[in-house]
Amino acid sequence: MLQITQVNKSYENHRALTDVDLFVPKGVIFGLLGPNGAGKTTLIRIVNQIIEQDSGTVELDGRTLSPNDIRKIGYLPEERGLYKKMKVWDQLIYFSRLKGLSENEAKVQIKNWLEKLDVVSWKDKKIEDLSKGMAQKIQFIATVVHRPTLLILDEPFSGFDPVNAEIIKNEILELKEKGTTVILSTHRMESVELLCDHVAMINRSRKILDGTIREVKRSFRPEVFKISLNYLKRDIPMEWTPKFSDDVWKFTLPLAGKTPNQLLSEMMEFGEVLSFREQIPSIEEIFIHQVQASTHE
């Protein structure tokens, strides 16, 4: 869907992107992660043709990005951009028309979305009279109303209470089900775990990691197991620092060259194994580890 190849971008003498390659497959939710100032917004702005790269190429559906592609893209920027004095309905018509919908098509789509997000009663209100979360819902509608095939969402959950965040999360999943490709830039790692199929991490202008969530997690397996035993046949070595709680012995051991089955058999010699589970790092742990490692390089 989106192929970014060797993209570089500098602002005056600050390097914002260095040799960035990124491939976003069709129909996935792609998490674009990185600490503050890493270069994510710069990359998103290049894809949206708000700014231009110094070198490198960006292709959408196999062709170099062109001004017409803007109609295929929906962009929810982190700094929201609604006209405060304009009424909700007029504003949504305006954005839909900008993105190429006919007046009639725009009316049908806007009505659908207002009903879907249960905000029909706000249609004659000015944005300045809406709460932050309410305005966020309208901004979300403005982003998706023209049925983009590529949706770029920068911190889409900020400003929402948990109930509305859940509603927006489900809308994003539904759009994905219908074939929309989504790039999600966020610092909320729990949303990444929940929503994304792929992730890429950028740090200090460079891509430092990418892959499917599964691949990324697999490549960071520390090969450590969490074990709990019921009754004991023999004493557990104290260097394993076992903890006894709720009538169960719990401890964590590395594989240390053994296979999981070998470690499990060994544990069975000590007592009844109640649980034996590999410790898989969270995306947040991988993110912190990778950013620290690449910062100290």
Ligand X SMILES: Nc1ncnc2c1ncn2[C@@H]1O[C@H](COP(=O)(O)OP(=O)(O)OP(=O)(O)O)[C@@H](O)[C@H]1O
Q: Least distance from C-beta 273 to ligand X, angstroms?
A: 44
Within the chain, how many helices (H) and strands (E) appear? 9, 14
Site for ligand X in 36-65 (CB under 6 A): 36-42
Cα separation, 32 vs 87, whole angstroms: 33
Q: Least distance from C-beta 58 to ligand X, angstroms?
A: 15
Cα separation, 61 vs 68, whole angstroms: 13
Query: Which one of 34-42, 85-93, 165-173, 254-262 is the stretch in contact with ligand X (CB under 6 A)?
Result: 34-42
* 24/110 with CB nearer ligand X: 24
In the stretch 2-31, what mask flags binding to ligand X with x, by CB under 6 A? ---------x--x-x---------------
In this structure, are strands 73-76 and 2-11 parallel, antiparallel, or unpaired?
unpaired
* 47/127 with CB nearer ligand X: 47
Dihedral sign for Cα atoms in the order 129, 131, 134, 135: positive
Q: Least distance from C-beta 41 to ligand X, angstroms?
A: 3
Question: How many residues of this chain interact with ligand X, rule: CB under 6 A?
Answer: 11
Residue 50 DSSP class: S
Q: Which residue has the tokens 């929309």?
A: 180
* 11/261 with CB nearer ligand X: 11
Cα separation, 53 vs 144, whole angstroms: 26
* 54/166 with CB nearer ligand X: 54
183 binds ligand X (CB under 6 A): no
* 27/77 with CB nearer ligand X: 77
Q: Which residue has the tokens 């169960």?
A: 248
**Residue among 54, 15, 3, 17 at smallest CA distance from 207:** 17
- Residues forming the site for ligand X (CB under 6 A): 11, 14, 16, 34, 36-42
